A and B are shown apart, each in its own frame.
Chain A
Amino acid sequence: MSAQPRFAAAAYCGLFFMLLAILASSAWWLGNSPSQMQFDARLMPPSTSHWLGTDALGRELWARTVAGLRLSFWVGLSAALLGTAIALTLAAVATLSTTLNAIISLLIDTLLSVPHLILLLLIAFALGGGTQAVIIAVAFTHWPSLTRVLRAELLTVRQAPYVAISQGFGKRRGFILVHHLLPHVFPHCIVGALLLFPHAILHEAALTFLGVGLDPSQPAIGVLLADAMRYLTAGYWWLGVFPGLGLLLMVLCIDRLAFHLRRAL
């Protein structure tokens, strides 16, 4: 029974890394086609010569979508990893003393009580926009729920008899944290990061769409969707549908991977 979820997770991991390799190498095989303008082929609908159509400046939408997904992927990955690192650090600190635990619980509750998007907008705006600002804003708003899970898990393991016995052998708190507690929550961290990932990508797209995210000259999904807004009502549906579909597929793909890993670990 236990082999089956692991097999499914391994299969999903393989598929995921294959897609990742294609996406990562797209910078090389796309060349400059995402920004190449063709003024004789503006706003062309999807056809055999223009697979997903072209935008108002005659740029190939498929190339821009792939480039946008690549950028979104890296932003999402960085934000998810940074968010997980923050969550793990704070959860570990919370186990060190009751005072620190109380402070961190308060911090978690405070952040959870503020609407996500408002905080995201404020941080991204304060940092002046751009890729870095988006990564930092997403990471700094998405750690609380994961921290709560990790903290609870660490506090439970800390009560385990083998931890008390380890203390009895004269092991210090740092040793116990690194050798007994943290390895226990490592699988939670991987799954947590993967679940954070789609969130980060969607928020990155949302921030960019609202204009405080990535640079409008970059082919990001949020930029493509914001551009498409002006043309959608005029019937140029492909400008909005394909980048949106690409984003949806990537998010679903990562979500599935996280689901299978959570069952396997």
Chain B
Amino acid sequence: MLEARQLQFGFRSNVPLLETLSLRLEHGEWLGLSGNSGAGKSTLGKLLAGLLTPQHGDVYVDNKPLTQRGLRPVQWLAQSPELAVNPRWRVGKTLREAWTPSDALIQDFGIRRDWLERLPNALSGGELQRICVLRALAPGVRYLIADEISTMLDPITQVELWQALKQHARHHQLGVLVISHDAALLERLCTRRVHLAGGVLN
């Protein structure tokens, strides 16, 4: 279970963005997080993945504080994949930075082998996003924070990406937090939904 206990965070110390916020994500659960722009959805996602440090409270994985060393069991997926990969690395190297997926899995995600030899600027956003999603599925990862990962994709690519992810998540009992503005998307993907407004969840 991924658990946020009494999280408090603000970019300026006297203006808290999130106030004593608690959240639970079970194994294999798909939880939807919605909220207006600037409500702190992405910030909450980054806190859960350990990319930001809360001012108060902590994030726990199976009742142990989230580790900063080694592979983190919570992985964050960015909205813009172009920023999530080193522009100087070939895509194959980027993928292998985390782990070496099997050929079957690479095919499941609709990734063509020749993409792996290219630089990120020679791939489209959708193609790059599949690489980023697959990269985050390294063995040992148990929770994913999917921060608007399909917003900039066309509908067909969206469906393909979510289907591949859904299949893999079911197989490995991954807990997934889907952050999105799109109520219909959350409705279809998630078993439970929460709304972030004014720094609190409801």
Contact = CB atoms under 8 A, between A and B. Distances in A.
B104 interface: no
A160 B83 contact: yes
A161 B88 contact: no
Given A160-B83, A161-B83, A168 B88 contact: no
Q: Is the interface of B mostly helix, strand, loop or mixed?
A: loop
Contact of A169 (B83, B86, B98): B98
A165 interface: yes
Q: Is the interface of A mostly helix, strand, loop or mixed?
A: helix
Contacts, number: 36
Interface stretch (B30-38, B68-76, B172-180, B186-194): B68-76
Interface in B81-106: 83-86, 88, 94, 97-98
A170 B51 CA distance: 12
Interface residues of A, number: 13
A171 interface: yes
A180 interface: yes
Contacts of A170: 69-72
A32 interface: no
A38 interface: no
B88 A183 contact: yes
A217 B83 CA distance: 58
Contacts of A162: 83-86, 94
B179 to A, nearest CB: 15
The CB with the most chain B CB atoms within 10 A, among A160, A162, A170, A171, is that of A162
Interface string A62-94: 000000000000000000000000000000000
What are the 4 closest A-B residue pairs judged by CB atoms, nearest first?
Answer: A170-B70, A170-B71, A161-B83, A169-B98
30 contacts: A161-B78, A161-B83, A162-B83, A162-B84, A162-B85, A164-B51, A164-B76, A165-B75, A165-B76, A165-B78, A165-B84, A166-B97, A168-B49, A168-B50, A168-B51, A168-B71, A168-B72, A168-B76, A169-B71, A169-B72, A169-B97, A169-B98, A169-B138, A170-B69, A170-B70, A170-B71, A171-B97, A180-B86, A183-B88, A184-B88
